[in-house]
Amino acid sequence: MKTVKEQKVKLEQKKNRLAAEETKLNLVERKMRTRHLIEIGGLVVKAELDHLPINGLYGALLSLKNTLVENDTVLKQWSDLGKAVLDKDEKSKVAIILKLTQQPSPEIRTYLRTHGLRWNSLREEWYGYVININSLKEGITSIKHELEIIK
C-alpha cells in the first residue's frame, strides 16, 4: 500500500500534467482565433474594402448586422454570392512552378509574392497558385526563367 506522501506526489504530478495540457489547449485556441481573424481580414481585402477608414468599415459591418436582423433570408443570398465568387476564383487559379536562373531583386521577389507564389528553399524554386498568369509573365520578362504549369 502506498503512503500518503507517495499519493500526494502522484496527485501533484497529475495536477502538473493537467495544467500543462490546459496551457496547450489555450495555445491551440488562441492560434485558431488568430487564424480566424486573419481570414476575416483577408475577406475585407478580397472585397476591396480595405481602403475604407476604420469608422466607415465598422459602420458598414454594423449596417450588415442590422440587415441580418431585419431580413433573415439575406444570409442565404450573401452565402450564394460569396460561394459563387470564391468558386470562380478557385477555378481560375493555375498551379505553377517557377525556376529562376539568377537571384531575383527584392522588387521581383515582392512581385512574385503578390501573385501568390512562395519560395521553396529545398528545391530552390517558386511555387503556388496564380490567378492572372499573364500579369505574372509580364512582370518577370527581365529575368531568365522556366515556368511550369501544373495540370
Residue-range domain boundaries for the chain: 4-70, 93-150
DSSP label at 103? P
pTM: 0.57
Question: Using CA atoms, how far apart are residues 25 and 10, in angstroms rounded to an integer?
Answer: 23
Task: Tell me what the pLDDT averaged over the chain comes to.
Answer: 92
Query: Which residues neighbour 129 within 8 Å (Cβ) at sequence distance 6 or greater?
Result: 93, 94, 95, 96, 116
pLDDT confidence of residue 141: 87
Q: Which three cell numbers stand for residue 15?
A: 495536477
Confidence of residue 132 (pLDDT cuts 50, 70, 90): confident
User: May I ask the CATH class of domain 93-150?
Assistant: alpha beta
Confidence of residue 60 (pLDDT cuts 50, 70, 90): very high
pLDDT confidence of residue 2: 77
pLDDT confidence of residue 90: 77
pLDDT confidence of residue 46: 87
The alpha carbon of residue 15 and the mean position of all alpha carbons in its chain are separated, in whole angstroms, by 36
